[in-house]
Amino acid sequence: MNAEMPTYLLTSADENTFISSIAKDWNGALPFTILYNEKGEITYLRQGKVSHETLKGEIEKILGEKK
């Protein structure tokens, strides 16, 4: 897809353990978007496509909570 960002490949004997460690509600399907606040808490989680406007709004909410 000509992505200009780094890509990673998970190699694990137990992929399900890794997947559930990221988010208990994630089944491993992609695309997957997860946002954390500065406390490390999940503030947004979405399996499937996310629009630019939605993602921007969610990030702005997180940044607004810091004030």
In order along its 67 residues, the chain shows pLDDT tens digits of 677 877 777 777 888 888 888 888 888 888 999 999 999 899 999 999 999 999 999 999 999 976 5
pLDDT at 2: 75
For the chain, what are the domain ranges?
Answer: 15-65
Q: What is the pTM of this model?
A: 0.69
Residue 46 identity (one-letter amino acid): R
The rounded distance, in Å, linking the Cα atoms of 22 and 15 is 11
C-alpha angle with apex 15: 12 to 21, nearest 5 degrees? 110
pLDDT at 34: 92
| Number of other CB atoms surrounding residue 49 within 10 Å | 8
